[in-house]
Amino acid sequence: MSAAQPRPLTIVGAGLAGALLAILLARDGRRVDVYEKRGDPRLRGYGGGRSINLALAERGRHALEQAGAEAAVMRQAVMMRGRMVHFADGSLQLQRYGRDDSEVIWSVHRGDLNLTLIGLAEAAGARLHFDRRLDAVDFDARSARFVDDRDGSAEQVDFAALVGADGAGSAVRAAMQRVADLGERVEPLDHGYRELEIPPADDGGFRIEPNALHIWPRGDYMCIALPNDERTFTVTLFMPNRGNPGFDTVRTPAQARALFARDFADALPLIPGLEADWAANPAGMLATLYLERWHLDGRAVLIGDAAHAMVPFHGQGMNCAFEDCVELARGLRDEAPLEEVFAGFQAARQPNALAIQHMALENYREMRDRVDDSDYLLQRALELELQQRHPDRFVPRYAMVSFMRIPYAVALERSRLQHALLERATRGLDDLEQVDRGALDAEVRAQLAPLEDF
């Protein structure tokens, strides 16, 4: 097919990745059909289920800019300068993510963002089909069967290629797995989560500092709160599935209140609906999905959570999925054989997905157990000093991941070298004045080449 008539694509899933990819492809002049099992959220309200708030960072903003969607999304976003740590003794400390307000992340509500992207996809020319659940796929015939669960009616759809953007429980992935071994492996986290809400103050404003991600670290468990533009906070309790405390021992609303009274005393008055929220929102599970194969030759390909679901503790699941969309759209512009495009897409993105999955798991341990640790705080202070002394060489992991677009795999490798430098420089010390800066500067120059952003 000529470049003037690019091959049509069929996307399964109108969530964040599916909608953004639809915008990018439609803007390239490609015919795009998107099938979504849920009803149209613009008519029925967002029905995406419970969701941890999303942290939009530079990678995601760049992808939105490529789709002409950044301005519309940023109107709904709330800036977060850093972690506001709530210590067990009631004291507070803001730990900035970056050097100043040019290095921040943004809290966005999944439902509002999805509604925006769906509207922009349709405006760009994508055709959206709601109440269409993928029921069966004949990959040899390149035909898919979609069912409307409201009345049981079915529709047979021919496709050039299927793009599975249908999340961690992907029906496209399941269909692919039935005809080829994708090497699927799921590693559940032994922790789950439950969502609560801090409502607006009586005057309509925020009850606590709005421009921060609030965190109550308590060792093996923690609570976080992210701001929303309607002046609420989405509160998420992360806790072991089994333990004391754990979701097996803290089951009832009364037990939840007792837990908060004991371990999150300053948060409790902020959540007047705690018992009602606890009863309404069952515990959610967390897991990491690994696949050896993301595509079925040129007939199907997976993106976002369908290919590499991760735990949410680096705030990069959405940002990583949006990078997928940009990479796949870029590859499709060459009109090479789809098998080559999909293989190239996997080769480019899979190492980076593995890297951010690893970093997300590490960040959970840091958030719940280290942000109030004296060794961590000393290393963090030295890290910021080295960033000032060697801005082109020593860039903290969080900055590489959140404020730059260098490959995740590069960020992981450099951060390992940097962490080793910090550990050696501070071992046995309790004050930065004791650090041998001359020797440390020499190590930085020897081990870290100048870093260039993409």
* pLDDT 10s digits, 393-426: 999 999 999 999 999 999 999 999 999 999 999 9
Over 90: is that where the pLDDT of 46 sits? no
Block residue for tokens 């993105």: 349
Cβ–Cβ < 8 Å for 16, 110: yes
DSSP state of 150: T
Over 50: is that where the pLDDT of 238 sits? yes
Angstrom distance (rounded) from CA 441 to CA 293: 42
Over 90: is that where the pLDDT of 4 sits? no
Confidence of residue 373 (pLDDT cuts 50, 70, 90): confident
Query: What tokens were used for 424?
Result: 């050696």
Confidence of residue 52 (pLDDT cuts 50, 70, 90): low
Angstrom distance (rounded) from CA 427 to CA 435: 9
Over 90: is that where the pLDDT of 377 sits? no
Cβ–Cβ < 8 Å for 352, 294: no
> Which is more confidently placed, 198 or 366?
198
Angstrom distance (rounded) from CA 85 to CA 367: 10
Give the pLDDT of residue 145: 98
Cβ–Cβ < 8 Å for 57, 105: yes
Angstrom distance (rounded) from CA 375 to CA 370: 8
